């Protein structure tokens, strides 16, 4: 400022403005912060904005007392607005966004803050600003006589800390540091007396802070009344009739910048202090606390304040905590508010310099040294990048660097550490939930040439984005090339473990689908989303992969699946020729089988369709399913359709929900399902078993049994659907479809019910075998009981080999 300050005691007023905002902040944080060792302080980083506001006011009102009224009004208004913004952010719970900051970003900021505090400590010691160039180096050399005193005290303190650590490496005396700082002043005076160096010469050589203006010199004495008048002078400057509203309007852009800049520090200081203290703080609560502290300070024309990270760390290291200790800090700061401007000139610069230098070194080491070996190379490089940029260009540039580093590290780690292809497997040992097919259908699926060996499953994982989708494509191409000798007909790409995908990757998946068909001659490509919401991306990938088509032999699509277009080539051999081969084409090579599958059309004998010879409906070339089980069902259906589509026709007819079936038709349907379950048993034995089962009709929401109840019956589901629920687990359910037998494990093994079963459809029909009949037949009819035993064994074998056991980790291996 070029003009004269309108009141006396400018320096004293500046110190009290700083202490007033600090007192308000400490009071609020002591009672409302989630940290019990929080230390508040005036936000010194906002001083340049305060200067800008002062220049605007001077341009409008000059240097008079009226200008001071407008300026303090702007200071208070800015603090109130900062407080309101902090409170709104906390109230709306926006603070939780900081939980997504990677820890290396916070450590980089800690290192940058440490270097800033270290630099300020040297500047306070030298009484000059340090620039990071040759002139700055020259000023350090010229003022080295001041710096060496600080270095002496700092080295002494480091040695004392090292000597007083216990066996665990922790500090024995938590008050060592604060007591040492208090002793610096008397030790400095004692040293000057010992070497014969006068205090006056020390003042002239810059070892002490300068005298405070406004008459507060070494010889100045002030009455208590004068002191109280100075204390409340801050509150007396603002007069509504002297405020220049034009200057207020011109200051709005500056205040907006001040508010935005104030918001930068808290989201960094709070998480950083949380890391340093190991306290899991509520960010929203801390934002609301900052809202209160700044609003209260602004009401009294005070400056902005915040939780000071450096001071809080020092306070925490000294084992300071609790409301009482926080209140003592307030009282001590209040004492300094009264006498601080007077005693400041008696304090050596070495005391403040040592304090700041020690804190700065500790923070810098915590950021860049203690983190070494705890982070990988790319993350540790990010720590140094943030620290360096923040040291050279300030906190704003450092935070921007941190965001860029976080994105780069995320992209690099996604490419380097997470292979998008988790694993691959041939489906020979995989089984879908459609395990109770007809014996002929199961023989097709188990055939080494025609069966599940033609299915190849590729399981993906993690995030798929522009950075690793190329790696994914190359890996899939390599896998298909390596597997080409097996003449894969069907490929399943499982996205169940993919947690995210960007639009660029989604487009590449579409191109990968086309490549699978064109280059590797894959007939059927199935894509598993893993959930009902579809693929984890904004782009409608499901729509791109699936288009309308006519599904094989059924107008009703499979459950949890989306229809697609094009065709899987049809098998040219008809049913009679297939039967003549006796369910085996081992005489043909796999290539012959494959080439026959790729013919576009096939004729089905009129005996199968009832309509004379007709063109066989198309099998899809691409399909989107919700689950890997659903995809395997589609693949199995396709393989069966290539050999004997009548098997699917038969299943389709018998699994429809005929609500108007008579007793005879219902009995025949039960016999059909039971024959599938006991495919190796003679027909007379199956009929005998069915004769002991009693039909039971259920309505929707009827409970068949409760979890933990006594097992007293076996049920064969003939019509409708039932739902099995594990009550002790969140949302674990399984739908039981017609043709399944359930409850046999509890009865055979004499176990209580493992789940609750209730009717899911409007109507369901089950055939029930009671415990009394079962116990009688076990003793008197071993052949009949063997049927139930074999169903139980098949059921358990199905559970072991079910595809769901192979999604996350293989714990159930078929042996």
What's the mean pLDDT in 454-480? 85
Compute CA distances 564 → 267, 364, 548, 571, 602, whole Å.
49, 60, 5, 20, 20
The predicted pLDDT at position 61 comes to 86
Residue 671, classed as helix, strand or coil, is: helix
Residues sharing a CB contact under 8 Å with residue 82, sequence separation 6 or more, in sequence order: 258, 259, 262, 294, 298, 304
Classify residue 84 as exposed, middle or buried by CB count within 10 Å of its CB (0-12, 13-18, 19+). Answer: middle
Given pLDDT bands bounded at 50, 70 and 90, which one contains residue 601?
very low
Task: Please state whether beta strands 455-464 and 490-501 pair in parallel, antiparallel, or not at all (unpaired).
Answer: parallel
Q: How far apart are CA 613 and CA 775, in angstroms?
A: 52
The predicted pLDDT at position 479 comes to 87
> How would you write 639-654 as a 3-class SS string?
HHHHHCHHHHHHHHHH
Which of 229-233, 630-634, 714-718 comes out lowest in average pLDDT? Answer: 229-233
Q: Which long-range contacts (CB under 8 A, 24 or more apart) does 662-666 make?
A: 663/695, 666/695, 666/718, 666/719, 666/765
Q: Are 460 and 498 in contact (CB under 8 A)?
A: yes
> How would you write 78-142 as a 3-class SS string?
HHHHHHHHHHHHHHCCHHHHHHHCCHHHHHHHHHHHHHHHHHHHHHHHHCCCCCCCHHHHHHHHH
Measured in residues, the chain has a length of: 815
Residues sharing a CB contact under 8 Å with residue 519, sequence separation 6 or more, in sequence order: 477
Task: Report the percent of the chain where pLDDT is more than 90.
Answer: 14
Classify residue 3 as exposed, middle or buried by CB count within 10 Å of its CB (0-12, 13-18, 19+). Answer: exposed
Residue 719 is given by DSSP the state E
Could you read off the pLDDT of 660-705 as tens digits, one per residue?
A: 677 788 888 888 888 888 878 888 888 888 888 999 999 999 999 9
Higher-pLDDT residue of 473, 319: 473
Residues sharing a CB contact under 8 Å with residue 165, sequence separation 6 or more, in sequence order: 171, 172
Residue 698, classed as helix, strand or coil, is: strand
* Segment (H or E) for 15: helix 10-32
Q: How far apart are CA 237 and CA 465, in angstroms?
A: 59
Q: For residue 815, is pLDDT > 50? A: no
> Quick one: tokens of 362?
């500790």
> Quick one: tokens of 312?
């809080």
Given pLDDT bands bounded at 50, 70 and 90, which one contains residue 248?
very high
Residue 766 is given by DSSP the state E
Q: How far apart are CA 639 and CA 449, in angstroms?
A: 11
What's the mean pLDDT in 121-135? 83
> Quick one: tokens of 20?
């007033």
Q: For residue 534, is pLDDT > 50? A: yes
Task: Give the orientation angle of helix 771-780 with respect to helix 782-801, to 10 degrees.
Answer: 110
Given pLDDT bands bounded at 50, 70 and 90, which one contains residue 232?
low
Look at residues 785, 769, 767, 789 and name the one whose alpha carbon lies nearest to residue 777: 785
The predicted pLDDT at position 587 comes to 36
DSSP string, 524-592: EEEEE-SSTT-SSSSS-HHHHH----PPTT-SSPPTTEE---S-BPBP-S-HHHHHHTTS--TTS-HHH
Q: How far apart are CA 629 and CA 343, in angstroms?
A: 80
Any idea which residue has 């019509």 for tokens?
A: 719
Could you read off the pLDDT of 618-650 as tens digits, one per residue?
A: 555 688 888 888 888 888 888 888 888 888 765
Look at residues 567, 531, 532 and name the one whose alpha carbon lies nearest to residue 549: 567
Q: Are 76 and 84 in contact (CB under 8 A)?
A: no
Q: How far apart are CA 385 and CA 382, in angstroms?
A: 5
Which runs of E-coded beta strand occur in 720-808? 722-725, 733-736, 741-742, 756-759, 763-770
> How would you write 130-194 as a 3-class SS string?
CCCCHHHHHHHHHCHHHHHHHHHHHHHHHHHHHHCECCCCCECCCCHHHHHHHHHHHHHHHHHHH
Count CA atoms closer than 13 A to 736's CA, side-chain side: 25
Among 3-7, 119-123, 212-216, top mean pLDDT goes to 119-123
Residues sharing a CB contact under 8 Å with residue 370, sequence separation 6 or more, in sequence order: none
What's the mean pLDDT in 781-805? 78
First to last CA, the chain: 88
Q: How far apart are CA 480 and CA 525, in angstroms?
A: 12
Q: How far apart are CA 765 and CA 702, in angstroms?
A: 12
Q: Are 63 and 4 in contact (CB under 8 A)?
A: yes
Q: For residue 162, is pLDDT > 60? A: yes
Look at residues 45, 36, 38 and name the one whose alpha carbon lies nearest to residue 18: 45
Could you read off the pLDDT of 194-209 as tens digits, one per residue?
A: 988 898 888 888 888 8
Could you read off the pLDDT of 366-399 as tens digits, one per residue?
A: 888 888 887 878 888 889 998 899 888 876 688 7
Q: How far apart are CA 317 and CA 336, in angstroms?
A: 23
Query: With the CA atoms of 251, 252, 255 and 256 taken in that order, what torsion angle do they form, in degrees rounded to the nearest 10?
Result: -150
> Quick one: tokens of 602?
């096939």
> Quick one: tokens of 162?
């090292």
Q: Give the count of beta carbons closer than 10 Å to the beta carbon of residue 25.
A: 33
Task: Give the orientation angle of helix 377-393 with respect to helix 349-368, to 10 degrees.
Answer: 150
DSSP string, 393-445: H-HHHHHHHHHHHHHHHHHHHHHHT--SEEEEEEGGG-B-S-----HHHHHHH
Could you read off the pLDDT of 350-359 as tens digits, one per residue?
A: 888 898 888 8
> Quick one: tokens of 174?
């938590």
Residues sharing a CB contact under 8 Å with residue 98, sequence separation 6 or more, in sequence order: 267, 270, 271, 283
The predicted pLDDT at position 757 comes to 92
């Amino acid at each position: 400022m070029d003009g004269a300050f309108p009141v006396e005691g400018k320096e004293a007023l500046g110190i009290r403005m700083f202490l007033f905002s600090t007192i308000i902040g400490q009071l609020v944080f002591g009672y409302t912060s989630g940290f019990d060792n929080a230390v508040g302080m005036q936000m010194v980083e906002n001083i340049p904005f305060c200067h800008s506001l002062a220049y605007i006011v001077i341009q409008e009102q000059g240097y008079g007392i009226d200008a001071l009224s407008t300026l303090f009004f702007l200071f208070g208004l800015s603090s109130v607005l900062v407080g309101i913004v902090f409170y709104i952010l906390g109230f709306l719970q926006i603070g939780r966004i900081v939980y997504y900051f990677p820890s290396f970003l916070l450590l980089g900021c800690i290192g940058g803050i440490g270097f800033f505090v270290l630099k300020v400590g040297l500047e306070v010691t030298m009484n000059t600003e340090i620039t990071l160039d040759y002139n700055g180096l020259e000023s350090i050399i010229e003022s080295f006589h001041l710096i060496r005193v600080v270095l002496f005290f700092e080295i002494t303190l480091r040695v004392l800390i090292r000597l007083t650590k216990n066996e665990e490496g922790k500090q024995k005396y938590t008050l060592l540091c604060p007591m040492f700082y208090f002793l610096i002043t008397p030790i400095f005076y004692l040293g000057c007396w010992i070497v014969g160096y006068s205090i006056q010469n020390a003042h002239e050589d810059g070892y002490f802070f300068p005298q405070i203006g406004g008459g507060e010199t070494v010889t100045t004495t002030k009455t208590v009344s004068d002191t109280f008048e100075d204390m409340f002078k801050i509150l007396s400057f603002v007069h509504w009739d002297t405020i220049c509203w034009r200057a207020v309007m011109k200051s709005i852009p500056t205040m907006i910048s001040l508010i935005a800049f104030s918001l930068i520090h808290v989201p960094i200081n709070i998480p950083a202090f949380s890391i340093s203290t190991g306290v899991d703080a509520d960010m929203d609560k801390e934002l609301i606390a900052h809202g209160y502290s700044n609003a209260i300070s602004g009401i009294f024309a005070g400056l902005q304040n915040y939780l000071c990270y450096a001071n809080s760390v020092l306070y925490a290291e000294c084992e300071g905590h609790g409301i009482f200790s926080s209140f003592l800090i307030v009282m001590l700061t209040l004492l300094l508010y009264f006498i601080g401007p007077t005693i400041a000139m008696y304090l050596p610069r070495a005391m403040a310099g040592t304090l700041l230098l020690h804190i700065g070194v500790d923070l810098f080491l915590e950021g860049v040294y203690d983190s070494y070996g705890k982070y990988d190379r790319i993350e540790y490089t990010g720590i140094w990048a943030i620290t360096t940029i923040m040291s050279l260009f300030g906190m704003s540039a450092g935070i921007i660097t941190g965001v860029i580093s976080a994105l780069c590290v995320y992209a690099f780690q996604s490419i380097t550490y997470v292979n998008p292809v988790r694993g691959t497997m041939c489906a020979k040992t995989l089984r879908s939930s459609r395990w109770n097919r007809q014996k002929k259908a199961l023989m097709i699926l188990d055939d080494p040439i025609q069966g599940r060996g033609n299915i190849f499953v590729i399981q993906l994982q993690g995030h798929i984005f522009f950075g690793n989708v190329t790696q994914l494509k190359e890996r899939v191409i390599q896998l298909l090339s390596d597997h080409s000798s097996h003449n894969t007909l069907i490929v399943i790409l499982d996205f169940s473990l993919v947690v995210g995908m960007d639009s660029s990757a989604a487009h590449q998946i579409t191109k990968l689908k086309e490549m699978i068909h064109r280059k590797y001659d894959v007939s059927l490509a199935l894509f598993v989303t893993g959930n009902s919401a579809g693929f984890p991306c904004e782009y409608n990938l499901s729509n791109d992969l699936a288009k309308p088509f006519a599904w094989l032999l059924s107008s009703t699509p499979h459950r949890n699946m989306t229809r697609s277009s094009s065709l899987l080539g049809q098998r040219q051999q008809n049913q009679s020729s297939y039967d003549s081969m006796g369910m085996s084409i081992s005489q043909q090579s796999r290539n012959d089988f494959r080439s026959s599958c790729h013919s576009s059309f096939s004729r089905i004998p009129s005996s199968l369709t009832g309509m004379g010879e007709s063109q066989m409906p198309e099998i899809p070339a691409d399909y989107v399913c919700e689950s890997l089980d659903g995809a395997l069902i589609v693949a199995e259906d396709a393989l069966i359709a290539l050999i004997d589509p009548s098997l699917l026709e038969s299943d389709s007819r018998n699994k429809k929900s005929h609500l108007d079936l008579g007793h005879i038709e219902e009995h025949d349907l039960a016999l059909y399902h039971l024959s599938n379950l006991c495919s190796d048993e003679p027909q007379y034995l199956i009929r005998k078993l069915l004769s002991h089962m009693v039909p039971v009709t259920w309505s929707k929401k009827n409970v068949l049994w409760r979890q933990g109840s006594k097992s007293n019956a076996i049920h064969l589901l003939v019509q409708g659907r039932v739902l099995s629920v594990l009550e002790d687990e969140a949302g674990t359910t399984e739908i039981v479809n017609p043709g399944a037998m359930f409850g046999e494990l509890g009865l055979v093994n004499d176990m209580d019910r493992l789940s609750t079963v209730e009717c899911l459809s409007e109507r369901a029909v089950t055939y029930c075998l009671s415990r009394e009949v079962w116990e009688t037949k076990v003793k008197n009819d071993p052949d009949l009981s063997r049927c139930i035993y074999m169903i139980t064994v098949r059921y358990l074998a199905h559970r072991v080999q079910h595809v769901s056991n192979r999604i996350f980790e293989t714990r159930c291996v078929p042996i």
